[in-house]
Structure 1
Amino acid sequence: MGQNVGIGTADVSDAEQILKLQYLCYQGEAALYNDYGIEPLTQSLESLRAEFETHTVLVARLGEEVVGSVRGTIDDGVARIGKLIVHPRLQRHMLGTRLLRAIEAKLADAAEYELFTGHRSENNLRLYERLGYVSGRIEKVSPRLSLVYLRKTAVLAA
């Protein structure tokens, strides 16, 4: 099913669908850390729309439905990638891999790529490491959550 999904640049008119999908996709993360106040669940539509001015935002579509998304921006030669989401019914169909590779290609001017996930998010960590990302610094956010930052050089992405 994942191969029938097209990936392209999002338009600000996609923001509402992206935000609804983001809310759905981050429920599992919130439950994992027993924290429903995480930023992806509290982000406003206005805030997401503002990101279209500063970030490259990609969507995966199955027909007219947005079933995945990722966004990123380049800062000091480092592409900071975030909010990689895939609709639960399409997970395990390589769509996350396709979205991550697509955002890396869009941000190809970067020297390095960086992303992060929670320390208990084993599926995310496995995906990122499989795609060449290496764990680096760990930032303790709360007693329940530490963020693991992973990086890879752009040469490895090409």
Structure 2
Amino acid sequence: MGKSVTISAATDQDAEQILKLQYLCYQREAETYGDYSIEPLTQSLDDLRTELGQSRVLVARLGAEVVGSVRGVVDPDGTARIAKLIVHPRMQRHGLGGRLLAAIEEQLSAELEAKRYRLFTGHRSEGNLRLYRSHGYAPVSTEEVSRKLSLITLEKEASAQAYAASA
């Protein structure tokens, strides 16, 4: 390959690549839970473009190709909600998800003064849970959405990021 992956702010021109990657990455989740109507698979390009304008969105690029992405917003109380952390299947298990997570945390803390980070995943999404726990997130609640799906909400304090970076 010879190219390294870079992480930067997404632009409107990235929207189509992000949407295609999102669709690819959420197939496994849909299969795991037997639900192909989940929002990441039904989001329109227009809705994604709106989201690009209302939240911080980062992309990971390998050359010109978008191979990962993550989104985040900060509520008035200082809670950063991180969502749709995706990495192309061929790029998974090489630390890119962790790099994207750290990058969005850093940006939300530095630019929007996030005090804590919150994200969620399905109860059977073991890879996601493992990643989040390895980055200092702890479960704070579980919500049963249906007989097939419970969402686990995980959080960590923004100060935990500074500690992890210094370790």
TM-score by length of 2: 0.92
Distance 2:116 2:51 in 1: 21
Q: Which residue is 1:139 aligned to?
A: 143
Q: Which amino acid aligns with 1:10?
A: A
Distance 1:104 1:12 in 2: 21
Distance 1:20 1:126 in 2: 25
Q: Which residue is 1:96 aligned to?
A: 97
| 1:113 maps to 2:117 | yes
Residue 157 of structure 1: CA displacement? 1.0
Q: Which amino acid aligns with 1:59?
A: V
Q: Which residue is 1:67 aligned to?
A: 67
Structure 2 residues without counterparts, runs of 5 or longer: 163-167
Q: Which residue is 2:152 aligned to?
A: 148
TM-score by length of 1: 0.97
Distance 1:86 1:38 in 2: 18
Distance 1:135 1:105 in 2: 21
Q: Secondary structure at the match of 2:37?
A: coil
Q: How many residues align?
A: 157
Residue 53 of structure 1: CA displacement? 1.8
Deviation string, structure 1 residues 88-117 (Cα, Å, up to 9, x no partner): 000011000000000000101111000000
| 1:58 maps to 2:61 | no
Distance 1:6 1:141 in 2: 36
Residue 4 of structure 1: CA displacement? 1.3
The runs of 4+ residues in structure 1 deviating greater than 4 Å are none
Q: Which residue is 2:165 aligned to?
A: none
Q: Which amino acid aligns with 2:78?
A: G
Residue 54 of structure 1: CA displacement? 1.3
Q: Which amino acid aligns with 1:41?
A: L
CA RMSD of aligned residues (A): 1.0
Structure 1 residues without counterparts, runs of 5 or longer: none
Distance 1:99 1:53 in 2: 19
Residue 132 of structure 1: CA displacement? 0.1
Q: Which residue is 2:37 aligned to?
A: 37
